[in-house]
């Protein structure tokens, strides 16, 4: 790890006169895991798009193995050995694993004979894919369709594709955002093996624990500017957060006022065949009840049943001691339940619609005048939500797809709040958002609880569960294994019950 394989100097990129990147410096060595850190809007995405040839810089120099890449396109950078595993995985679902790995290179893999006869040598393609996956230590059928794989398996296929391209640099963008801890460990082992072979990794993640677990070096960007590059061993979480946000955040999680109100929601013997059974819990006004457990434990499935997205097979849901059956989300909303899905882009908002239209989507009845929509009422409500939640947007007509992850999440929460719920279910509320936005969302959640809203919070991040919850319900394989108080809960105790 002496001479850098990639050196970026004074890189600058502007859009409509606004600098997205300003004088960026970056060096990457062979066999190094180099974390690129920064809040949403720091310039990470623009920087990566330039590195893989999706856009050209205005100024600066990009030297890769001695060659200038400033005017390269995606095909050029791929041939030179730079690959990227995108957060939203780019696959063709109806093709097989092997076909996705070698897409566009079938002739090379099939051999000349196969192509001159007019037929693909599928056996050769499948065997090459099988060998590659076996070398990675991954058990995936190369002849299986991509749409049958989990997100983690799809990521492994993308890594296999990069390796098959003789990648010398692999960029990984939020690779663990939608996979379990166990699947994450498999990914980290593959990264370790790639390092040993001299492959350099640029690693982007908002998860501090994994950054310090696998990174050799950390570079921080803030507001499009280069802040610093340091050895991971020189930093701790607090110093890294300060570099990213430009200020000290002493207490990430706001204090609980420990004031429980009346009983808001009771779940008694709730069951859904094949997903969970005999779930029992209460949540009170002003309380945050955390749901902890490994992926597949049944947390989201329980939330979907309570909100009316899925049907229960047994048990009872009671709101303020009154039995209810939420057959649809509309009924759940009418019964005072709000839901922020883990699938922010799929179920949380409509990307092509404005902040105003998304925010008022669940509360249209409040803004009606007869058969018409009261535009003034809509605007007033949206302005209030933007101010209360501190949503950073050019104006309420801006499309939500152009907001940062943290601000998109605030729009989804705002949409739920305008329906005036007494109970809110938050499923992975900070997934894919940066540390500064997390801090703001934590404050928002605690403020909602302090105003008397009962909150169920589902999270895969144990520090988040421990820091935010008044009580914690632990699930394992669809079974309820414990309910812990804030005082007794520890990471070790939660994990003990999560694997029970």
- Who contacts 136 (Cβ-Cβ below 8 Å, separation ≥6)? 156, 159, 160, 163, 190, 193
pLDDT attached to residue 362: 75
Asked if 411 contacts 355 with a C-beta cutoff of 8 angstroms, the reply is yes
- Who contacts 5 (Cβ-Cβ below 8 Å, separation ≥6)? 28, 29, 30, 64, 65, 168, 169, 200
The DSSP element (H or E) to which 208 belongs, if any, is helix 208-214
Paired tokens of 382? 């949206």
pLDDT attached to residue 110: 66
Asked if 302 contacts 466 with a C-beta cutoff of 8 angstroms, the reply is no
* Alpha-carbon span 467 to 442, nearest angstrom: 9
pLDDT attached to residue 31: 96
Asked if 459 contacts 489 with a C-beta cutoff of 8 angstroms, the reply is no
Q: What is the dihedral of CA 399, 401, 406, 411, to 10 degrees?
A: 50
Distances (CA, A) of 213 to 270, 361, 463: 39, 41, 16
Q: What is the pTM of this model?
A: 0.69
Positions in the chain whose pLDDT score sits under 70 = 1-2, 110-120, 247-250, 367
* Alpha-carbon span 462 to 426, nearest angstrom: 15
Asked if 471 contacts 287 with a C-beta cutoff of 8 angstroms, the reply is yes
pLDDT attached to residue 115: 46
Which is nearest to 203 in space by CA: 334, 44, 57, 346?
Answer: 44
Asked if 146 contacts 96 with a C-beta cutoff of 8 angstroms, the reply is yes
Asked if 434 contacts 38 with a C-beta cutoff of 8 angstroms, the reply is yes
How, if at all, do strands 372-373 and 423-427 pair?
A: unpaired
Total residues belonging to the chain: 500
pLDDT attached to residue 213: 94
- Who contacts 232 (Cβ-Cβ below 8 Å, separation ≥6)? 35, 211, 212, 215, 216, 217, 218
pLDDT attached to residue 401: 86
Paired tokens of 410? 């605030």
């Amino acid at each position: 790890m002496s001479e850098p394989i990639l050196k970026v100097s004074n890189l600058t990129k502007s859009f409509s006169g606004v600098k997205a990147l300003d004088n960026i410096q970056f060096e990457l060595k062979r066999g190094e895991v180099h974390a690129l850190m920064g809040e949403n809007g720091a310039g990470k995405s623009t920087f990566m798009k330039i590195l893989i040839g999706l856009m050209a810089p205005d100024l600066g120099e990009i030297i890769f193995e001695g060659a200038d890449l400033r005017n390269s396109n995606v095909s050029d950078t791929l041939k030179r050995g730079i690959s990227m595993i995108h957060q939203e995985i780019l696959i063709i679902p109806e093709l097989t694993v092997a076909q996705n790995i070698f897409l566009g290179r079938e002739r090379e893999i099939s051999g000349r004979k196969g192509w001159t006869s007019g037929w693909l040598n599928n056996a050769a393609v499948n065997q090459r894919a099988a060998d590659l996956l076996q070398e990675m230590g991954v058990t995936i059928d190369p002849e299986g369709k991509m749409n049958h794989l989990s997100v983690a398996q799809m990521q492994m296929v993308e890594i296999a594709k990069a390796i098959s391209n003789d990648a010398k640099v692999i960029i990984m963008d939020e690779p663990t955002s939608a996979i379990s801890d166990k699947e994450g460990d498999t990914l980290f082992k593959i990264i370790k093996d790639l390092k040993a072979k001299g492959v350099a990794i640029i690693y982007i993640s908002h998860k501090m624990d994994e950054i310090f677990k696998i990174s050799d070096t950390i570079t921080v960007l803030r507001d499009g500017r280069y802040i610093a590059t340091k050895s991971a061993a020189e930093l701790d979480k607090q110093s890294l957060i300060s570099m990213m946000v430009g200020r000290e955040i002493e207490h990430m999680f706001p204090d609980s006022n420990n004031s429980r109100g009346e009983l808001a929601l009771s779940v008694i013997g709730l069951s859904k065949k094949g997903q969970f059974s005999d779930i029992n819990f209460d949540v009170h006004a002003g309380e945050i009840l955390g749901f902890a457990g490994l992926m597949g434990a049944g947390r989201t499935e329980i939330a979907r049943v309570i909100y009316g997205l899925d049907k229960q097979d047994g048990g009872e849901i009671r709101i303020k001691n009154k039995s209810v059956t939420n057959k649809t989300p509309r009924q759940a909303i009418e019964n005072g339940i709000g839901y922020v899905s883990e699938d922010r882009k799929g179920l949380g908002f409509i990307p092509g619609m404005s902040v105003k239209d998304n925010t008022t989507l669940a509360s249209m009845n409040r803004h009606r005048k007869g058969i018409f929509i009261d535009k003034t009422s809509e605007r007033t409500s949206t302005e209030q939500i933007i101010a209360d939640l501190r949503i950073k947007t050019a104006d309420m007509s801006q499309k939500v797809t152009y907001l940062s992850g943290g601000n998109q999440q605030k729009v989804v929460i705002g949409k739920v709040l305008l329906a005036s719920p007494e109970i809110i279910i938050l499923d992975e509320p900070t997934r894919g958002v940066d540390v500064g936005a997390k801090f703001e969302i934590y404050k928002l959640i605690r403020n909602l609880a302090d105003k008397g809203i009962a909150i169920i919070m589902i999270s895969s991040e144990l520090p988040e569960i421990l820091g935010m919850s008044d009580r914690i319900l632990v699930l394992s394989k669809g079974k309820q294994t414990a309910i812990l108080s804030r005082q007794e809960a520890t990471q070790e105790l939660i994990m003990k019950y999560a694997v029970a």
